[in-house]
Every structure is written in structure tokens, then in C-alpha cells.
Amino acid sequence: MGFTIAQKIIGKHLLSGVMEPGQEIALRIDQTLTQDATGTMAYIEFESMGIERVKTELSVAYVDHNTLQSGFENADDHRYIQSVAAKHGIRFSRPGNGICHQVHLERFGVPGKTLIGSDSHTPTCGGLGMLAFGAGGMDVAVAMGGGAYYINMPKMYKVNLSGKLQPFVTAKDISLEILRILSVKGGVGAIIEWGGEGIMGLSVPERATITNMGTELGATTSIFPSDEVTRAFLEAEGRGDDYVPLASDEDAVYDRVIDIDLNKLEPLIACPHSPDNVVTVASLAGTKVDQVCIGSCTNSSLFDMLKVAALLKGKTISPNVSLSISPGSKQVLKMLASSGALEDILSSGARLLECACGPCIGMGFSPNSAGVSLRTFNRNFLGRSGTADAKVYLVSPETAVAAALYGEITDPRVLKSLPKVDMPARFAIDDSAVLAPATPDEAASLEVLRGPNIKSFPEMRPQYDSLKAELALKVGDNITTDHIMPAGAKILPYRSNIPFLSQFCFAVCDKTFAERAKAAGESIIVGGTNYGQGSSREHAALVPLYLGVRCIVAKSFARIHLANVINAGIMPLTFANPDDYDKIEQGDILKIENVWSGMDEGNMTLVDETKNLSIKVLCQFTDRQKAILKAGGLLAYTSKQ
């Protein structure tokens, strides 16, 4: 039996475990990345380990999220990250250099290597054949220190593309189509490999759009072969020596195979408030649009921006629409400017934003009240835009341009003529905004600079053999990390200040939760299916930890959040019978006894003392995860090792 691409890379990086689906494996990590919204805490965690120098082949710290400096908080975080990076052997990508995933794809991603990043969209680099995972900051800190990255061995899915994309149908529409097929939880526990003759018509930036949005499927990661398309991209980036051919074996076995005929695909759109709420653009034609945003780590490449410029050239956007453009990197922006394409964009009436995540995480450019916003982003969760009652739709750049020109949702095929856009033979390479770290000798005298908003890591609490606490919050299915710990311009500056940040925990669901949980001292949360989907932000685990949450019982968990919860020392349990979710209510007093023996047996009994009910819950932890929970979290466990 042959191997898939992912299995080949895993096999070469396997430190322990066996490659059987569901079994825990430990991987050697070649590269790490962080961004500033999660990076400050990740580096605080790294410092706490007492390791002088990172032990990866490459680690890069990016500043691309909290770039609005309306107070000292973000600037202090940036200064801290720059100083800690210089001291510990990490490259520092300065604010304005671009979005971490776009820059890493351009300048650092290598086929066949492993990468973990403290951002859920790290799988973007799967577009050039890299095995890239989103992870919590603690996992990244451990990897930087030379430790292994642990996951359960995923299943293998294959998506075969046949045919050819028709005019105005794009890689984004392929992403939306697979979301329509699988849903936001259909990829859980799987690595998705893309293949078939249809991939030969997709450039690396287009492939990266697809692997980026694989995160919204709940997939462990997504990956394309490394082929002649990959070689051409790397050579254009001046990195031809990084090219390695990678393909699955002809007799590789997959747990599921999905076929998509590109000839039949048409422009698609994800409706509020979930990326899998997908319909055709034509079915919503005529819907008034207030705002259009083009950019984000999903669709901000030079390829995307040149298409946008060509479609806007000589035209003016609707007077009722506000259009923003966010190039993904300084490289993209410079090439737009030198080619004259930037002038075409600006002349249309568009507003140029910084090369950063910006509106995607609610960091500026929020829609008007109850506004309709079409975005080329990857998520449209309720309130994520910064406007609570906004209606956010996800679309391709071509569909976004059509809406901006007409002032309403419009099938982009009405634009009729799609100018041909070719990828350059050579990109404009300028790495001056990526600062090299100090040498080991220089680093000894460097000071790490901390501002007053940077607080210490929250106290971790070992799990005890019994737990009795109030059910402080009961929530439904598909609760995202944006529900648990919102982003946005008003909140993100406090990512390094857990005590202050805690007042916003679950505010989207229940504004009283934080106050009630803190007053209770210890509490339990109950959730539905796919609890914790979305961002990799470990703050969605650290803040509940600070507020005294000791246990979360759900129908199922999203992969990264499950790891983050365990790393924080919070015990995650699942209902043996999902119908039992309906039997308990917020405010009930819940009790679990014999926690240690229950962990060994793989199940426990949850007693609802208020209703006199006994409910079976599952806890299928590995020996390592049990030890982490008993120690009170990953950092405490690691220090003991």
C-alpha cells in the first residue's frame, strides 16, 4: 500500500507513535510562526521555559493583527515581540511587511517541511506542499524549544479536481464548494489532499487560497502536491533551491474521495453567519451592498490584486459602496505600485489599507449598522467584523468587484470580459523588513522590553480527583473562539493582559458570564457540537482558566481548541449520549468524582445534583494528556519533564 503526501512527510518527521488514524503521534517541527495577537502570550510562555535560543530551523514573529496603534498597548506588544525575537533567535517581520501567511508563503515556506503557527490559517503554506498546522501558542512555544508537536494521526481525504475553471469562477469558489459539501465540521480529524488534473490550472496563490480555507472545514490541514507549478513559484521568489517534488503514490489509500468538476462550478457566496452557508451568487442577485473588502490571508496575493485592478480599471465604484483593498504583503503592494495597477485601484474610489489582517478580525473598517458587507475573507462569524448586527458574506475577488461596481450582489459573469493576468517570472524581492535576530554572543546583553499592559501568565490549577461546581454557561452548536474570546479593535490590544481581557469572555453569548464565573470561583461550561471552532487563539482557553472554569462538557470539540483547553489544564469531556445535553440546564450543580480512575477507564459519571441525574461522559485522553491535566497544564507538565 502506498502513501499519501501527508503520510510521507509525517513519516519523515515522526518522533513517536504509529501512523494509525486516531493514535497520538509526535512530530519534529522544522519551522514556526507567530502573529502579534497570539504571539505575545506565546513568547511569555517560551520565556517561562528558560531556553536561551530557539531550536527550530526557522522561527518567524510577524506583526499583522494588532496594527492599529490607538494607544500604547499594541506598540508595547510589538516592541516586546521584537526584543524577545532578537534575544532568542527568531526573525521579526515588522508591521507593514504583510500578513504572516502571505509572507511565509512568499519567502519561507518549503515543500516537505513541517510548520506550526499560532494562527489557525497556517495551513496556507500547504499550497506549496508544506505540512502546516494551526496550533495554540503553548504548542508553538514548546516546538520553538525543540519539543515535539502532538496530534492524533488524521484520516486522509482526497479531493480530485477535473476540468477547468470557467471565466469568473475562482479558487475561492472551489473553497466554498467543498464547504458546501462537507460543512464546517466535515473535515474534523482529516488531512485533505488536493489532486486531479484540475490542479494544474491553479497557481500557488490559488492553491494557498484553498488550503487556507480548509481550516473552515475543521480539517487538521490541507496540502497540494509540490510540482512544476510549485517550482515556478519558488523560482520567481528567488528560492528555486527550496523546491522538492512531492506526490502521493499511485496506490495510496484514502478514507474518503470527493470529486469536483470545475467545468460545472459557478460563482458561490457564503451567507451570514457561517462559511458553510453557501449558495450561488446568482441566487442573491440584487441584494443591496454597503461595503466590500478585498484582502485577508485568503485573497490578498499579487495574482488576486492584479485581477482586481484589471476589473476596476477605468471604472468607478457605486456611490453607495465603501471599498477597501488590503494587499497581503509589502511585496504585493510594491509590485502593484510599480506596474501601475495600484493607480487603477485607487482611481476607482477604493480605499487602500495597510498590508495587514485589518477588517478580517474587526481591526478597523467595520460595516455600518445592519450593513451588508461582501468580503474575500475566510470567516463571517456573527460580530467578527466589529459590527454586531452586520451581515457579512464571503466571496471571490471577482464577485467582490462586481458588487462594488453595481452596489448590489451581482454575478461577476455580467462583467463579461476578464482580462488575462499572468504571474511574473520574478517577484520584487525585498526582505529588509524581516529583521535577523542577534547572535548568541550579542543576545546575552539584550534586554526584553515589557510594557505595563503585558501581564504574567494566569495561574494554572492541577485537576483534582473530584470536582463540584455550577454549570455557569450552556451554549449551542458551532460555538467559535470569537464567541468565547472576541477579537476586534477594542479588545485585541489586551491579548497580553488576561485579567483585563477576561471581562469580555463569552460576552457575545452572555454579558453576565465573566462576572458570574469569577464570583463562583470554579465553574463548568456545557456546549454542543464542534465547540471551539475557528481561530487558534489560546486566549479562548486561558481566559476561562483565569475565570475558574475547570471543565467543559460538549457534544464534540474542534481540534485546535481541544488541544488548547488541555494545555490550559481545563478538562474537556464529551457526552456519551448527545441527547443528554438537553437534560441539564444552566445553573445546575454538577459533580464528578473519581476523576483519575475515570481518565484511565475513558469515561466518568457526571452527576447533576440539582436534577438528581447521572450522565455518562467520555474522556479518551492519551497518557501524555492525562499527565498534562494532572499537572495543571502544558507549561507545568513541561517544566517537570
Say if residue 227 is in the same domain as residue 86: yes
pLDDT computed for residue 1 by the predictor: 83
Statement: residue 459 has pLDDT above 80:
no
Domain that holds residue 316: 268-410
Q: Is residue 441 part of a domain?
A: no
Residue 447 domain-assigned?
A: no
Q: Check whether residue 214 and residue 306 sit in a common domain.
A: no
Same domain, 253 and 277: no
Beta-carbon contacts of 63 under 8 Å, excluding residues fewer than 6 positions away, are: 35, 36, 78, 81, 92, 93, 94, 95, 97
Regarding whether 544 and 596 lie in a shared domain, the answer is: yes
Pick the range with the lowest mean pLDDT from 233-237, 279-283, 627-631: 627-631
Q: Are 205 and 223 in the same domain?
A: yes
In a domain, 440, yes or no: no
Chosen domain end from 264, 283, 304: 264
Asked if 582 and 491 sit in the same domain, the reply is: yes
- 492 compared with 33, residue with greater pLDDT: 33
Per-residue confidence (pLDDT) for residue 453, from 0 to 100: 87
**Length reported for the chain:** 641
pLDDT in tens, 87-135: 999 999 999 999 999 999 999 999 999 999 999 999 999 999 999 999 9
The stretch 280-302 carries a mean pLDDT of: 97
- Across the chain, mean pLDDT equals 95
Per-residue pLDDT band at 418 (split at 50, 70, 90): confident
Report pLDDT for 257: 98
pLDDT of residue 411: 98
CATH of the domain at 352: 3.30.499.10
Domain annotation covers residue 442: no
> Do 333 and 309 form a contact (C-beta atoms < 8 A)?
no
Domain count across the chain: 3
Average pLDDT of the segment spanning 527-551: 93
CA–CA distance, 517 with 253 (Å, rounded to integer): 48
Over the stretch 89-99, which tens digit does the pLDDT of each residue have? Answer: 999 999 999 99
pLDDT band with cut points at 50, 70 and 90 for residue 293: very high
Q: Which of 375, 410, 445 is the last residue of a domain?
A: 410
Distance CA 634, CA 637 (A): 5
- pLDDT mean over 246-265: 98
Give the per-residue pLDDT at 495.
85
CATH code at 593? 3.20.19.10
Query: Are 361 and 260 part of one and the same domain?
Result: no
- Residue at 438 is within a domain: no
- Distance from C-alpha of 588 to C-alpha of 112, rounded to nearest angstrom: 50
Q: Given pLDDT bands bounded at 50, 70 and 90, which one contains residue 243?
A: very high
Residue 354: all three cell numbers together: 495597510
Q: What is the pLDDT of residues 461-498, one digit of tens each?
A: 888 899 999 999 999 999 999 999 988 878 888 888 99
Instruction: Look at residue 488 in the predicted model and tell me its pLDDT.
Output: 80
**Per-residue model confidence as pLDDT tens digits over 148-186:** 999 999 999 999 999 999 999 999 999 999 999 999 999
Per DSSP (E only), the strands in 454-602 are 466-474, 523-527, 549-554, 571-575, 589-593
Residue 321's CB is within 10 A of a number of other CB atoms, namely 22
Which of 208, 230, 264 represents a domain boundary (last residue)? 264
Same domain, 15 and 74: yes
Please tell me which residue, 615 or 495, carries the higher pLDDT value: 615
pLDDT of res. 637: 86
Residues 377 and 477 in one domain: no
Whole-model pTM: value is 0.93
Percent of the chain with pLDDT over 90: 87
Look at residue 422 and tell me if it is in a domain. Answer: no
